[in-house]
Chains A and B, each alone.
Chain A
Amino acid sequence: MPELADLTLVEAADAVRLGQASSMELLDAVWANLEAVNPHLNATIWLDREGAEQAARQADQAVREKAWLGPLHGVPLAHKDMYYQAGKLSTCGSVIRQDYRPTITATVIDKLTEAGAYTFGGLNMAEFAQNPTGHNKTFGDCHNPWNPPYITGGSSSGSGASVAARFNYAALGSDTGGSIRLPAAACGVTGIKPTQTRVSRYGVMPLSFSCDNVGPLCRTARDCARIMTLIAGRDPRDPTSAHLPVPDYEAALDGDIRGLRVGVPTNYFLDDADAPVVQAMEQALEVLAARGAVIQRIALPLLDAVAACVSIISRVEGATIHAQWMRTRAADYGVHISSRMYPGYAIPATYYVEALSRRGPILKAFARDVFARVDVLVTPTIRTCLPTLAETDIDHGPPGIEHKFLAVSANTRPFNYLGLPAVSAPCGFDPNGCPIGLQIAGRPFAEARVLQAADAYQRDTAWHNRRPPVLDAVGAMGVTVA
């Protein structure tokens, strides 16, 4: 039988519901891995073992009393440290908020709690969710579980690392330019950025209110589907959230992708891509084709316009909300944070409004052209082999290093501007032993379809089941299912 910490989120929840494991046993299992591995990864900012034990005892009591059990009953989780929980620390990864305790709780946290989950800590993240690598000046850099000198991807660095290293069954991340998909790809887990407006952002630290998204990082597409079914939907406290019904994403995972039209872009997404990454993507396409998907190479329209507009919105919005701290506490930001925000103050308002105003027309033209021909788009999540933390360290590196730093998110940013849902699933490893991610994007509100494609792929592959070698190197102990 598998060790409890090796279970997926769905398996862990099912184990509690079926009486095969207690919530306390799950907590003990993830905690054993956390204590063994986390000193090498630095994936957490704060922990609350006492509170988690109390929640676990209550969950186990509910099982004994045969109370109603939610879809995540008794599952311990930790999230990126920017999801507000009233009275609890929420550092947002910054010294500026190192003591911040919000008075409200994020809607998505409330929804996960209603489903029976509880939180045991806050995870490391890029400072104010503003880098694609996992560097953090205040709390220390997060390290890749597969090869610690390499980046975890960011900004949801601890989310990716903790799930990969088997001390967290799932984690919420946030994605403004790739911050869920990048750590999912770099850490060898599965993550989804939903359609813009699909998930409430109430009680979540803002970065760019036009481009911020909330979503999960998990071991599998099925795990992501379970979380998405719970957290998606209209929230009166977030007036930007869509008024659309939420399907049962997990029920739609039938493995049947016969006839699915898969588009592989011939422009932009493979520019200067590394050979091992392209090879992994091509092998993944063969897996999808073997299941009946129809692979088509297509040129995507309007990418120059997307490239011109994509960074304007988040740079201006991020610079605006940080303006007062940039005046009074600029030295408290990492160099790579303050240096990227600074030019945002010189971007003309007319550029910003143009970038926003063209977003709808560009999306319509893009969707009309592309989704008439294909159902989903497949690209590498990161087009190069992973760089090391040192190779992307703007704070301490030589001039020019920022170009390598920014290149990490080249393939994810366009889908933020277009607002499209996109999942990243592991599809191989590079020569340095670091994971490679496969990005699958769809039309607006096609979360079910992109998850279905990722799930179908995972039915025929085992990349998502691989364990990082650090787990065995440090002798992380496991507890098996009864």
Chain B
Amino acid sequence: MDTFLAEIEQTIARWHGIEAPNDPARRMAADLVATIRAFEAQRGTLAFEDEPASFEAALLETREA
């Protein structure tokens, strides 16, 4: 078994008590590699002051007049 996938399965089992329900679940878990790559490309773009609550404010700030 792929080491990355094995680690993912162990992590999910340890932290959540959930086992892989089927093979497609394992394939999609293995695809988390793509998620990591996408976030790698974004490193450094999160500002220190950014916070989730800014989204509702942004909706209002950028709304149609």
Most buried by A among B8, B29, B32, B59: B59
CB-based contact A359/B25 at 8 Å: no
Does B62 sit within 8 A of A, measured CB to CB? yes
CB-based contact A308/B42 at 8 Å: yes
- Which of B17, B51, B54 makes the CB contact (< 8 A) with A327? B17
Q: What total of chain A residues lie within 8 Å of the partner, measured CB to CB?
A: 54
* In the complex, chain B residues whose CB is within 8 Å of the CB of A69: none
User: CA A359 – CA B46 in complex, angstroms?
Assistant: 10
Does A468 sit within 8 A of B, measured CB to CB? no
- With A330-B18, A361-B54 given, is the CB distance from A242 to B46 under 8 Å? no
User: CA A242 – CA B57 in complex, angstroms?
Assistant: 10
User: CA A193 – CA B13 in complex, angstroms?
Assistant: 36
| Contacts of B7-43 to chain A: CB distance below 8 A | 8, 11-12, 15-25, 27-29, 31-32, 35, 38-39, 41-42
- Which of A307, A312, A363 makes the CB contact (< 8 A) with B55? A363
* In the complex, chain B residues whose CB is within 8 Å of the CB of A419: 55, 59
Does A321 sit within 8 A of B, measured CB to CB? no
CB-based contact B38/A346 at 8 Å: no
User: CA A336 – CA B28 in complex, angstroms?
Assistant: 10
- With A354-B46, A443-B63, A444-B62 given, is the CB distance from A343 to B21 under 8 Å? no
- Shortest beta-carbon distance from B49 to chain A in Å: 9
Does B1 sit within 8 A of A, measured CB to CB? no
Does B3 sit within 8 A of A, measured CB to CB? no
Q: What total of chain B residues lie within 8 Å of the partner, measured CB to CB?
A: 42
User: CA A419 – CA B54 in complex, angstroms?
Assistant: 13
Does A442 sit within 8 A of B, measured CB to CB? yes
- Shortest beta-carbon distance from B1 to chain A in Å: 15
- With A326-B21, A363-B59, A446-B63 given, is the CB distance from A343 to B8 under 8 Å? yes
User: CA A368 – CA B61 in complex, angstroms?
Assistant: 10
- Which of A197, A340, A356, A449 makes the CB contact (< 8 A) with B59? A197
CB-based contact A339/B24 at 8 Å: yes
Given contact pairs A331-B21, A419-B55, a sample of 20 additional A-B residue pairs in the complex whose CB atoms are under 8 Å apart? A195-B63, A196-B55, A196-B59, A240-B56, A304-B41, A330-B18, A335-B24, A338-B22, A339-B22, A343-B29, A346-B11, A347-B32, A354-B39, A354-B42, A360-B58, A361-B54, A368-B62, A399-B24, A443-B62, A443-B64
